[in-house]
């Protein structure tokens, strides 16, 4: 198999610097420490079946030239593999503290001994061309040390691939700061990569996000900020590379009790960052082209509750079931089925008995806003319109339904409640309990969605 480009990500041992405020990997508790042979085996597996590879990107969350992370034996193995695959460019990352005469000269000598002269590009996370800011984000470099490292690379005919972060916290004018950084980096680098600053679970930046004082840029804002660089061939732009859902450390999980029907348990920052992620960064699974909003349940994860078990059992026989994206509506916001076990969605409780008129009103308002934002941002994915509806199976008088109905109206999206109104009203009048699991209603739900031909 011939390949243009391949990215290998192998994490091994902690980054020697380990202090950047946006870095999650270096703060993790358990970081793998692998032997040389195991590392080579992993690399071999990654390259299996490839006969020719034009470009190899090798990332290891730290420094390729730090022998504690990538032993010299393994560094050489990568170079040999590149030669075997006739690789024209090898890109690896490195903190300037390891870009030394000794380390670079050694790589150059190995390449000479192999009689192989690929383009070697060293990815350096400069992030910003501002010494004051570099100190604040604890990058462990200065513009001077960066320039020195780049000078050394040039000396050995290696190239600098400089990474910049757009929208760093503490920055008053993100545009001005990025422009200044791009100008500086262009003077010193063969390539620049602008990435959207995004907070990962163990990073200090995640706490800043939770404080609600700073937010990652959504796609539109990021494109507005970086659009002017799009045509520059020396610049690559990445909005959501390697982005993941919000992950909460055990310490953070222990810190709060998400119980009770109150404002705290409705607008808690843990929920807010999840909702921001879901609206602005999350990509719904490709196959899911139709939304079905469902209620939450006391038992978590929801699919273990009696109500959800009954709904799921009936729903699974719908033709095209796999296309239905089940999204629960609850006080944490919207919860797509695939995240129902993630913290805190299986670790909260909202007691209806504690609800007051004021909290119900607030719930409806907050929930409506969350639904609106989700529907608006994912319109292209689901392609719902005033004709192609979103579905729900919700009690008509519930705040979740009212919020959803209002949101759909505002977004001009059709809404079909699969809970048969006539049968529901009748059963309610009869004083029927556990109404959502009633067989008549579940059968009607099936018929209504089957008729809709999703």
Least distance (Å) from ligand SF4 to the CB of residue 14?
Answer: 8
Q: Assess 61 for contact with ligand SF4 (CB under 6 A).
A: yes
CB-wise, 126 or 359, nearer to ligand SF4?
A: 126
CB-wise, 19 or 219, nearer to ligand SF4?
A: 19
Asked if residue 119 lies in contact with residue 148, where contact means CB atoms within 8 angstroms, the answer is: no
CB-wise, 19 or 428, nearer to ligand SF4?
A: 19
Angle of helix 357-377 versus helix 269-280 axis, rounded to 10:
30
Give residues with Cβ within 8 angstroms of 388, minimum separation 6: 414
By CB under 6 A, name the one of 12, 13, 17, 87 that touches ligand SF4: 17
Q: Assess 62 for contact with ligand SF4 (CB under 6 A).
A: yes
Nearest 5°: CA angle at 400, between 448 and 351?
125
CB-wise, 13 or 347, nearer to ligand SF4?
A: 13
CB-wise, 123 or 279, nearer to ligand SF4?
A: 123
CA 386 – CA 185 distance, rounded (Å): 48
Select from 22-30, 83-91, 233-241, 391-399 the region that touches ligand SF4 (CB under 6 A): 22-30
CB-wise, 61 or 177, nearer to ligand SF4?
A: 61
CB-wise, 19 or 220, nearer to ligand SF4?
A: 19
Q: Assess 15 for contact with ligand SF4 (CB under 6 A).
A: yes
Least distance (Å) from ligand SF4 to the CB of residue 390?
Answer: 40
| CA distance from start to end of the chain | 39
By CB under 6 A, name the one of 12, 13, 20, 436 that touches ligand SF4: 20
Select from 20-28, 165-173, 210-218, 302-310 the region that touches ligand SF4 (CB under 6 A): 20-28
CB-wise, 66 or 340, nearer to ligand SF4?
A: 66
Enter the tokens of residue 95: 């903190």
CA 374 – CA 366 distance, rounded (Å): 13
CB-wise, 61 or 103, nearer to ligand SF4?
A: 61
Select from 23-31, 70-78, 208-216, 235-243 the region that touches ligand SF4 (CB under 6 A): 23-31
Select from 21-29, 33-41, 281-289, 402-410 the region that touches ligand SF4 (CB under 6 A): 21-29
CA 330 – CA 345 distance, rounded (Å): 9
Asked if residue 294 lies in contact with residue 326, where contact means CB atoms within 8 angstroms, the answer is: yes
Select from 14-22, 164-172, 174-182, 246-254 the region that touches ligand SF4 (CB under 6 A): 14-22
By CB under 6 A, name the one of 10, 23, 329, 449 that touches ligand SF4: 23
Give residues with Cβ within 8 angstroms of 374, minimum separation 6: 275, 278, 279, 334
By CB under 6 A, name the one of 3, 6, 8, 18 that touches ligand SF4: 18
Enter the tokens of residue 34: 């692998």
By CB under 6 A, name the one of 71, 96, 118, 125 that touches ligand SF4: 125
Q: Assess 95 for contact with ligand SF4 (CB under 6 A).
A: yes
Q: Assess 269 for contact with ligand SF4 (CB under 6 A).
A: no
Q: Is the dihedral of CA 79, 85, 89, 94 positive or negative?
A: negative
312-343 b/e with 16+ CB inside 10 Å = b?
A: eebbeebeeeeebbbbbbbbbbbbbbebbebb
The conformation of residue 349, written as its DSSP 8-state character, comes to B
The torsion region of residue 236 among left (phi > 0), alpha (psi -120 to 50) and beta comes to beta
CA 32 – CA 38 distance, rounded (Å): 11
Q: Where on the chain is the footprint of ligand SF4 (CB under 6 A)?
A: 15, 17-20, 23, 25-26, 61-62, 95, 125
């Amino acid at each position: 198999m011939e390949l243009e480009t391949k990215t290998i990500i192998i994490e091994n041992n902690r980054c020697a610097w380990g202090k950047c405020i946006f870095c999650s990997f270096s703060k993790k508790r358990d970081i793998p420490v692998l032997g040389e042979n195991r590392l080579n085996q992993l690399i071999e597996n990654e390259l299996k079946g490839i006969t020719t590879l034009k470009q190899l990107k090798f990332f290891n969350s730290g420094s390729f030239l730090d022998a504690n992370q990538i032993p010299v034996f393994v560094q050489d193995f990568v170079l040999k593999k590149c030669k075997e695959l006739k690789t024209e460019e090898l890109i690896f990352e490195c903190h300037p503290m390891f870009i030394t005469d000794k380390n670079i000269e050694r790589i150059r000598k190995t390449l000479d001994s192999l009689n192989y002269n690929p383009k070697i590009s060293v990815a350096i996370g400069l992030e910003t061309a501002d010494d004051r800011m570099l100190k604040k984000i604890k990058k462990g470099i200065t513009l001077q040390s960066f320039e020195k490292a780049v000078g050394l690379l040039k000396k050995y005919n290696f190239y600098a691939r400089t990474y910049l972060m757009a929208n760093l916290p503490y920055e008053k004018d993100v545009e001005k700061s990025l422009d200044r950084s791009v100008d500086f980096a262009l003077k010193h680098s063969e390539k620049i990569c602008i990435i959207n600053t995004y907070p990962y679970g163990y990073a200090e930046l995640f706490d800043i996000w939770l404080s609600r004082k700073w937010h990652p840029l959504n796609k539109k804002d990021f494109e507005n900020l970086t659009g002017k660089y799009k045509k520059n061939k020396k610049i690559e732009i990445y909005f959501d590379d390697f982005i993941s859902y919000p992950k909460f450390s055990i310490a953070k999980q222990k810190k709060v009790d998400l119980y009770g029907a109150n404002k705290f348990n409705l607008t808690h920052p843990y929920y807010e960052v999840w909702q921001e992620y879901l609206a602005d960064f999350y990509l719904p699974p490709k196959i899911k082209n139709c939304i079905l909003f469902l209620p939450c349940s006391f038992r978590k994860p929801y699919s273990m509750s009696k109500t959800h078990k009954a709904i799921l059992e009936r729903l699974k026989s719908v033709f095209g079931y796999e296309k239905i994206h089940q999204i629960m509506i609850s006080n944490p916001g919207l919860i797509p089925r695939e995240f129902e076990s993630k913290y805190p969605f299986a670790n909260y409780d909202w007691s209806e008995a504690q609800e007051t008129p004021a909290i119900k009103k607030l719930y409806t308002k907050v929930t409506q806003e969350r639904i609106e934002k989700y529907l608006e941002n994912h319109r292209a994915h689901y392609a719902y319109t005033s004709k192609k509806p979103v579905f729900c199976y919700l009690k008509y008088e519930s705040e979740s339904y009212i919020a959803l109905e209002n949101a759909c109206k505002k977004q001009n999206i059709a809404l079909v409640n699969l809970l048969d109104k006539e049968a529901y009203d009748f059963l309610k009048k009869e004083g029927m309990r556990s109404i959502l699991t009633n067989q008549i209603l579940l059968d009607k739900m099936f018929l209504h969605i089957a008729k809709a031909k999703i």
